[in-house]
């Protein structure tokens, strides 16, 4: 078991290092100068040169990459170019908001997907089945940057039930969580339905029916547990996507999380903050998928990862 865990963590480390290298190279090669963003295009050239030297941006790219990895080994993400704040503190101050949004969105998705998927599997071929799958298709097709403003127009500006943006109110989490959760619920409900349809044709399900057990009890007690493995796979992948997909939703709803900080870092060409944000998102994504692999053995003891 332990050698499997170390192997998974080792491969995850390689992926994270590869992502950090790509991000470093891309953000240093794209057009834009953080010095001009800070001082303005009309600033004195001597001031620009002095600030660029102070920030270390006049060094060769390989020297900057070496310094970046040297700091990363010591768990030092550096200082923000724009505000001179510690990058790690800046990111972790925003992390609770993103984690809250992702977890509540996941709860919204599960609470929608499992009942709909179970209903569609039990009523296979019926009107309920077709309606559920149409809802799932709509959820997959509607992008967050369109659904978010529509929810704001209807439920915030129109009905006045929820705040337009921010997290000052407890109800402020509702619309962002629904925006993120509906897309995940659409994918999950289809997966729950398809796996349950396969499981419900197994012999042990027929035996349970022959014993006179209630249909819901059969699905919940016998069918759902054996159908969880592919569902957990999708759930793990999509939870990692929630962290990355929260970027758009956080901008739409002005949610003060890591996603909004990432966009701010891009606009200001704040290299250390942007590198730290992308590194955190990629690390979260990889760790969630690694944990998903390890959960397999607990859900199905017949599986041995190696």
**Which among 287, 274, 288 has a CA at the least distance from the CA of 78?**
274
Distance CA 140, CA 178 (A): 13
Distance CA 104, CA 242 (A): 11
- pLDDT confidence of residue 173: 83
Distance CA 40, CA 283 (A): 34
- pLDDT confidence of residue 97: 84
**91-299, CATH topology level:** MetI-like fold (1.10.3720)
Q: Per-10-residue mean pLDDT for the chain, 306 residues long?
A: 67 77 77 66 68 70 79 77 80 84 85 80 76 77 80 84 78 84 80 76 71 70 69 72 72 82 80 82 77 66 54
- pLDDT confidence of residue 104: 87
DSSP-derived letter for residue 164 is S
Distances (CA, A) of 111 to 1, 71, 132, 202, 227: 33, 43, 14, 26, 17
**Domain-wise residue ranges, the chain:** 2-73, 91-299
Q: Which residues contact 265 (CB under 8 A, 6 or more apart)?
A: 271, 273, 274, 277
- pLDDT confidence of residue 306: 47
- pLDDT confidence of residue 302: 59
Calculated CA dihedral for residues 28, 31, 33, 38, nearest 10 degrees: -120
Is residue 280 within 8 Å of residue 179, measured between CB atoms?
A: no
DSSP-derived letter for residue 172 is G
Alpha helices in 253-303 (DSSP H): 258-268, 271-299
User: What's this model's pTM, rounded to 2 decimal places?
Assistant: 0.74
Distance CA 65, CA 193 (A): 48
Is residue 139 within 8 Å of residue 131, measured between CB atoms?
A: no
Distance CA 13, CA 33 (A): 31
């Amino acid at each position: 078991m332990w050698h499997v865990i170390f192997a998974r963590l080792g491969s995850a480390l390689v992926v994270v290092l590869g992502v950090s290298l790509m991000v470093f190279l891309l953000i240093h090669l794209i057009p834009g100068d953080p010095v001009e963003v800070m001082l303005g295009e009309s600033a004195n050239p001597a001031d620009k040169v002095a600030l660029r030297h102070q920030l270390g941006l006049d060094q060769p790219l390989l020297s900057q990459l070496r310094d970046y990895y040297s700091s990363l080994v010591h768990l030092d993400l550096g200082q923000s170019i724009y505000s001179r704040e510690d990058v790690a503190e800046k990111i972790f101050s925003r992390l609770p908001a993103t984690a809250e949004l992702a977890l509540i969105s996941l709860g919204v998705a599960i609470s929608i997907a499992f009942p709909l998927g179970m209903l569609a599997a039990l009523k296979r071929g019926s009107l309920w089945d077709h309606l559920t799958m149409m809802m799932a298709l709509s959820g997959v097709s509607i992008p967050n940057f369109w659904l978010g403003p529509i929810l704001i127009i209807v439920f915030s500006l129109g009905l006045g039930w929820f705040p337009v943006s921010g997290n000052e109110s407890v109800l402020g989490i509702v619309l962002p969580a629904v925006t993120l959760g509906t897309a995940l619920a659409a994918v999950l409900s289809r997966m729950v339905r398809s796996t349950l349809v396969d499981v419900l044709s197994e012999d042990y399900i027929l035996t349970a029916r022959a014993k006179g057990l209630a249909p819901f009890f059969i699905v919940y007690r016998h069918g759902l547990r054996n159908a969880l493995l592919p569902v957990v796979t999708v759930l793990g992948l999509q939870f990692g996507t929630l962290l990355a997909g929260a970027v758009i939703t956080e901008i739409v709803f002005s949610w003060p999380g890591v996603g909004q900080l990432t966009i701010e870092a891009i606009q200001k060409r704040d290299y250390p903050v942007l590198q730290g944000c992308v590194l955190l998102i990629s690390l979260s994504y990889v760790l969630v998928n690694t944990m998903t692999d390890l959960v397999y053995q607990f859900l199905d003891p017949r599986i041995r990862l190696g």
